[in-house]
Structure 1
């Protein structure tokens, strides 16, 4: 097991090297400049779209804008925001947060382009249903000769979508917060029971398909973000005197790397810190990875630019808001320097320190909501990948493999799980970013047309009169 752990660790480190960081961040910066900072100039319009102001029930697709973003967020607003941020701070100190922010700002541009493409170049599966995602915008946008990239993405997605990290950290949280303080013996048996319970809950939802998944997470995501925000707000109020100091350290330590304890990049600690922050940021918001394109590609819209504008809100909510809340709670309580805990246990220490008696249980509730919602969405991503590879009529096979993997995640080590998913996330980013950079000018052409129409006359998506009559009949 130790040898396997070492092999997976080396694999993750190899694929998360400088070339991939250049592709993700350099590519994202190129997209940001190409768009002339469009994601930031149209935030108001994005929010209007999210509120359903322009929804048309007759547009092609399966779910509305809000459900698409909720489905995408339910996979990104997960353990990466709680455990992943804790890992980043334990290894990199306050400076890692700055590079998380950079990944989010750049990621907003990346998400705009990738998810616009997901609707612009939708394809059909073997059952004739309209589908969207990286694999489809590669084959439909670049042509069949590029199919090898689409297959590469889908194969990597089969592993990258597995829930092992989320399950692993939820199991650790239950052990650390609930079982250990109550003197309940911990080990393989208790982990197995936790995994079995999660398997049952997940099976009930995911076997119902995308509609049941989207309906569930559209209710769960807003509630869990609100609860987490309220909990962290209490911690910040309790430790308000420490807040200015650490806000300053986030910026100064980002370039000094005084608290970085990981491997240097080309002999430099700052380079290693940048890699750490961007790696954890990519795991958190998945910008450039391509998973969210499978949710946004199913949105009911005939305007690709609209879905890109909605999707770009994801990194802002996920990383700039939720990850920052986690980071500040860990920093201001000082547990990142006084505790040997890592992952979710470090965040739990921060909650316990500032909110006695109930802090641990508030965090456990948030962790459960974050993890379980992620389980629902990632199963959908995996079935989409398998559908592309071997046909839509066989996509349900993935759910059985997925359910079995929940048990694996509950009974294996953190380092192995985080390196495994990190590695395959990195592989998914390669075809996603290559195809997006090639097709980006097509998105800008479409965006110019859309915003000209929107500026001259606000674009509406209301049903035609005859459609209304048909529906009433």
Structure 2
């Protein structure tokens, strides 16, 4: 395993620059090309999610709210809790600023990619909707698009595994419960194995039920777990109100730390922020279009605007709350803590010694919702590469990797997923930029329609 990790780790520098160029560079191009119009329609996007513009006769399997909940369920999770901690551990508080910028750029990427998902979706012989990056690549670009779609789908077979979520949830469980189970004859390794098998069983009960079941479960879990997390963090903010402004000040100061730049680490800090933000909200990866492409709408732009809310909720709101909790508590100064261990320490310090238990319960909800939704992405990738019958076997492979992730090291998992994400960004961002004029034309028509309707 160490040799495999060394090989993957040697490729990470190339992956880092790939993500910087395609996600940030491509995102800035789309931001300027859109003339900031999607951002100006933020309020309208909220109205769409609330169902104000719904038409029950529109094609699709799930509502705007279900599509957003399912996509957010896959992104608002361990990346927001342990991913932020890993970023701060590796780059200090300043990395949070670069996560914010990546999220802002990521919003417009989500707008374009999810608009394309609806624009180029088709209905198969059985009446099921086919959507996602693979389909706007092949239908929108042609022969070259087919190669991009195959490349994307192969990378997705690794990128869309729930291994990071499982690994960090296992670490959470062991950190919180470990004092009580150390005396058990099974030992740490076997407890991790049992936990992995349990997660495999629970996940299989949901994912073999199909998209609608996943969407129903995600819609039920996501609002509750986000609300509970918000209550806990807002309580911490309220009881440490005087430390909020200094924490924000520290983030901005460290983001442009001259000493860091002199040491040659400034661009490393920026890239780290990009990596962790993309890991958190998945902008540019092509995952969200798979859910948003299934939504009940005839207006591609409408769903693009809904999807745009994802990075805002995920990174600007949830990740910021996590970062502030870690900074205010001083947990980031204890360098031996990385990943979820740092966030657990922050919650324990801030909530009278019981915060780590509360966070473990929240993490459990985050982990399960993410595991449920990620399986759907991978199934669509394998289905595209083969057929519907074989595509269903991805869930078997997916379930098997859950147990593997529970017992392996966090370093292997992070490097593996970061590399897969970088490879997925390449074909997806090429397709999104190439097809962006189609979205601009659709946006122009949609805005004109709203003016005529007086909305």
CA distance in 2, matches of 1:430, 1:134: 12
Give the conservation status (yes or no) of the 8 Å contact 2:182–2:188.
no
Aligned to 1:15: 15
Match of 1:187, SS? Answer: helix
Q: Does 1:288 align with 2:302?
A: no
How many aligned residue pairs are there? 453
Q: Does 1:107 align with 2:106?
A: yes
- CA apart distance, 1:12: 2.6
Match of 1:53, SS? Answer: coil
Aligned to 1:324: 320
Q: Does 1:188 align with 2:189?
A: yes
Aligned to 1:76: 75
Aligned to 2:206: 205
Aligned to 1:157: 156
1:390-438 Cα deviation digits (max 9, x unpaired)? 0112211000000000001101000000110111011110011000001
Aligned to 1:248: 249
Alignment of 1:238-387 (within 5 A): 238-256=239-257, 268-387=264-383
Aligned to 1:3: 3
Match of 2:405, SS? Answer: helix
CA distance in 1, matches of 2:7, 2:258: 28
- CA apart distance, 1:113: 0.3
Structure 1 residues not aligned, in runs of 5+: 460-473
Match of 2:256, SS? Answer: helix
Specify which of 381, 390, 393 is matched with residue 389 of structure 2.
393
Structure 2 residues not aligned, in runs of 5+: none
Aligned to 1:455: 451
Change (3 A) 1:401 1:127: farther
Aligned to 2:432: 436
Aligned to 1:66: 65
Match of 2:296, SS? Answer: coil
- Give me the CA root mean square deviation: 1.6
Give the conservation status (yes or no) of the 8 Å contact 1:139–1:147.
yes
Change (3 A) 1:184 1:237: farther
Change (3 A) 1:13 1:184: farther
1:75-103 Cα deviation digits (max 9, x unpaired)? 10011101110000011111100000001
Q: Does 1:219 align with 2:215?
A: no
1:368-410 Cα deviation digits (max 9, x unpaired)? 1111100001000000101111011221100000000000110
CA distance in 1, matches of 2:38, 2:232: 30
Q: Structure 1 stretch 425-434 or stretch 29-38: which is displaced more?
A: 29-38
CA distance in 2, matches of 1:151, 1:458: 43
Aligned to 2:44: 45
TM-score, normalised via structure 2 length: 0.96
Give the conservation status (yes or no) of the 8 Å contact 1:257–1:269.
no
CA distance in 2, matches of 1:160, 1:252: 34
CA distance in 1, matches of 2:355, 2:321: 15
CA distance in 2, matches of 1:163, 1:145: 30
1:120-145 Cα deviation digits (max 9, x unpaired)? 01135585632110000001111134
- Give every structure 1 segment of 4 or more consecutive aligned residues whose post-TM-superposition deviation is greater than 3 Å: 123-128, 181-186
Aligned to 1:470: none
CA distance in 1, matches of 2:447, 2:427: 29
Aligned to 1:410: 406
Aligned to 2:128: 129
